[in-house]
Amino acid sequence: MNSTRIAVCGFGSRSRLFQNIYIAEQLSLLWRGLPIDRTPRTHDFFEMQTPSEGPGTAFQYGCDAALNTGIEHSTKTINKEGLTEEQCKIIDSLTDMAAHYARIIMADPKKTMSDLLRNNISTAILFNNATKSGELNVDIPCGPRGISGHAMEAMTQDALRLAREYLPWLSINIRYGVVVSDMDLSDPTHPVLTIENVKTGETETGLVYDLVIKCSGTTFEVPITGEIEENGFSGIPNSAQVAEYLENQKMLDNEGYIIPGKSIFIGGIGLSAFDFVGIILAKTKIVKFDPDTKEFTIDEAEAKRNRNLVTFFSRTEGIFGACRHVNDAVKYLDSELITPEMILSLTLQNDLDTYPAFFELARILTAASCSSHRMPSQIEENMSTIDHMDRMATENEVLDKNSKILTETGLLRKWMWSFIFTHTMGPQPLQQRAALVEKYNHIVRHGWHNWRSMSYDISHKPQNEANDAAYLRHCHYRRIALNYIAGAPFEIHLLITRLYKLGVISWMQGAYEDLTWSNEARMFNLKGQQADGLIASRRLTAKSDKLGSRILEQAHTPAGEPVWHKGRLLKNKAGEYLHVFELGFTGHGKQWFDTNANEGAYQLMPIITNMAIIIESLISKGVEKPLNELMELHNAVLPKDEEFDAQAKQLEEPHRNLTHLILYARLIEKVYGERFAEKMQ
């Protein structure tokens, strides 16, 4: 029996989920008395950060920014049939991030609230809202993201302890402060790694492995340079670091509060920009918390003293970060106008840019469900950013008074999410989804796969005037969809729009390159407006990291074949699979400093883990090209073209109905205008 070695690039959420799921799968086999391969196995992890920084970018311990979503519970992919209740609990705990998060943050709720009030008003508001029952509701945004890192670390340590106790044949080694800088794939079954020390630059070469799992995440860049970068802030949303920056900018008084009249620019109008608002507010007396009534209020006198405290700026006009509210009235709203089959059929149409089509459909259904006599063309219509902010501010106040009301933002977000991620609506979306998968198992894709694939065709067309125009149109509608899907929690959005109406927060059009800095005045200038400070969040780049580029250089893509094959795999010139799972930015990647993308990791890593286990077993049995053999087995059980065509044919009528619906809606709007909803019913 041959021993095996796996290298994992990065030790963030995906890498840790891989290891925890791997250990849980092995424990399940062991405790059920089933055959288990005890061949010596080595898993080496290479992480560029230090142990004190936290698991990867998304879960850094020092991140005081708010969660924008709920937290993932344990994965349901591990077979626990025949295990005792206690063993099931142990297995579940290895991937139950929500339970670990709750245990940490609820250890001392009073101290937690005190810390949050001092560090970030936004997280304090979320925590207060999520603990109204006395327990923590982890299914909604409920606190700071840094605690997610501690929760992930706690899960990791539990798994490592169990591995040491029960799986002596498994050796796990974690190296911090190093990065995999190169990979030689001359032998496709044995990648050879070069490791570089982040601090010293020293390298180690010749590290041979049977498989590499690349989870090195996204590449970020600081959007400012020169004296703008020297005097601006581009760190993570950390309260202490922001306070130090404000102090250096002479913006704080002797008590550590922002001096009334001081101001700060924040680049962007989405989640990354919103991350800093609560941290800045914690350095003012604008927001008050009453521990007896557990209510937050805005001191309007303090707000008046701090007018123009924060100015968001963005390059383009006409968009502002949306609200993420999903009340039951919206979440379980059904529509007699459309069926899941109609939605699914749209994804099969050749040469169709799905985002604009989904957006038009979302406008139709939103207008049909609203009681405000709005036409589809008026839903998310072209308007100024300020007009959007005014509309959202009004809508937030209505929603705050009646949390069950149907709002335009809530409806539009619900439909866009349904179309892209589930193909279903309500009132029983899980049952609808299961029925759809059962009937169209060759066609339905997981939401995160669907999200990525919807941009594949248009981004791989030859460059010409027509295709470039179509691509820009695609990006425009994709940005609108992302703006709603990745919206801010209602509580944070409400705080921002209220402060906007009070003049504390404003917006202006401008870009980072428009900024100038005056050493004499110690002020930033943006198109004639001045501010004492600047927050410039790091942003995603379109570039692959060095290692990703190096891997692609050694891959070969024959004409007519995709670059990436099933499992995010690549082939060499001989047509053999390279023993590398590329799960970085070019494959999946984190899209936000948030556990939202963690949902994608929970969907992806059980698949990757099982593939790795199979490859290890094949190697231990002496199979020379295990990945080739695994993919041959996979291809042998794929459905025949006739099976796919038969399912696709069943969607012809739903597609006709969908086309008729869109054409009919266009006609109704032209003929009846504001009576659209009445006539569509």
pLDDT, tens digit, 9 for 90 and up, residues 611-651: 999 999 999 999 999 999 999 998 898 889 999 999 999 99
**Residue 380: pLDDT over 90:** no
Compare 559 and 369 and report the one with higher pLDDT. Answer: 369
Same domain (yes/no): 408, 463: yes
**Residue 593: pLDDT over 50:** no
Q: What pLDDT is attached to residue 585?
A: 52
Cβ neighbours of 186 (radius 10 Å) = 9
Q: What pLDDT is attached to residue 150?
A: 96
- Domain tally for the chain? 3
> What integer is the mean pLDDT of 408-435?
86
Compare 391 and 421 and report the one with higher pLDDT. Answer: 391
Q: What pLDDT is attached to residue 596?
A: 39
> What integer is the mean pLDDT of 290-310?
97
Compare 1 and 613 and report the one with higher pLDDT. Answer: 613
* 328 located within any domain: no
Q: What is the mean pLDDT of the chain?
A: 91
Same domain (yes/no): 192, 65: yes
Same domain (yes/no): 568, 483: no
589 — pLDDT class (breaks 50, 70, 90): very low
> What integer is the mean pLDDT of 163-182?
97
- How far CA 576 is from CA of 46, 560, 569, 570, in Å, comes to 26, 17, 10, 8
Number of alpha carbons in the 13 Å side-chain half-sphere of residue 225: 2
> What integer is the mean pLDDT of 218-233?
90
Tabulate helix, strand, coil % of the chain (nearest 5): 45, 15, 40
**Residue 451: pLDDT over 50:** yes
Is 667 in a helix, a strand, or coil?
helix
Cβ neighbours of 242 (radius 10 Å) = 24
B/e letters for 41-60, b = 16+ CB within 10 Å, e = fewer, are bbbbbbbbbeeebbbbbbbb
Cβ atoms of 113 and 128 closer than 8 Å:
yes
**Residue 133: pLDDT over 80:** yes
What whole-number percentage of the chain has pLDDT above 70? 95
* 614 located within any domain: yes
User: With the CA atoms of 85, 89, 90 and 95 taken in that order, what torsion angle do they form, in degrees rounded to the nearest 10?
Assistant: 150
What whole-number percentage of the chain has pLDDT above 90? 68
595 — pLDDT class (breaks 50, 70, 90): very low
Run of H or E including 326:
none
**Residue 237: pLDDT over 80:** yes
Put residue 33 in one of left, alpha, beta given phi > 0 → left and psi -120 to 50 → alpha.
Answer: left
* 327 located within any domain: no
Q: What pLDDT is attached to residue 594?
A: 32
Same domain (yes/no): 34, 171: yes
Cβ atoms of 478 and 355 closer than 8 Å:
yes
**Residue 542: pLDDT over 60:** no
Residues in the chain: 681
Examine the fold and report which residue of 540, 556, 577 is the final residue of a domain before the chain moves on: 540
Same domain (yes/no): 347, 399: yes
Q: What pLDDT is attached to residue 468?
A: 84
Same domain (yes/no): 173, 276: no
Same domain (yes/no): 469, 492: no
Same domain (yes/no): 373, 497: no
Put residue 396 in one of left, alpha, beta given phi > 0 → left and psi -120 to 50 → alpha.
Answer: alpha
* 9 located within any domain: yes
Q: What pLDDT is attached to residue 590?
A: 35
Compare 56 and 570 and report the one with higher pLDDT. Answer: 570
> What integer is the mean pLDDT of 281-286?
98
Among 12-16, 89-93, 221-225, the range with the most confident prediction by mean pLDDT is: 89-93
Q: Strand 41-47 and strand 4-9: pairing?
A: parallel
* 332 located within any domain: no
Compare 66 and 464 and report the one with higher pLDDT. Answer: 66
- Which amino acid belongs to residue 472? L
Residue in 138, 166, 120 with CA at minimum distance from that of residue 129:
138
Report which DSSP code applies to 552. Answer: H
Query: The domain containing residue 154 runs over which residues?
Result: 4-219+543-637
560 — pLDDT class (breaks 50, 70, 90): low
Examine the fold and report which residue of 496, 513, 540 is the final residue of a domain before the chain moves on: 540
**Residue 600: pLDDT over 90:** no
**Residue 120: pLDDT over 90:** yes
* 400 located within any domain: yes
* 73 located within any domain: yes
pLDDT tens for 28-39 read 999 999 999 999
> What integer is the mean pLDDT of 268-281?
95
**Residue 502: pLDDT over 90:** yes
Residue 495 sits in a domain whose CATH number is 3.50.50.60
Same domain (yes/no): 242, 313: yes
Q: What pLDDT is attached to residue 97?
A: 96
The DSSP code sequence of 404-452 is: T---HHHHHHHHHHIIIIIS--SSSHHHHHHHHHHHSTTT---HHHHHH
Same domain (yes/no): 238, 299: yes
Q: What pLDDT is attached to residue 101?
A: 98
**Residue 586: pLDDT over 70:** no
Same domain (yes/no): 40, 155: yes
Report which DSSP code applies to 364. Answer: H
> What integer is the mean pLDDT of 257-273?
96
Q: Give, in degrees to the nearest 5, the angle at Cα 628 between 624 and 634.
A: 135
- E strands within 128-257? 170-176, 178-184, 192-197, 203-208, 211-214, 220-221
* 138 located within any domain: yes
Same domain (yes/no): 576, 455: no
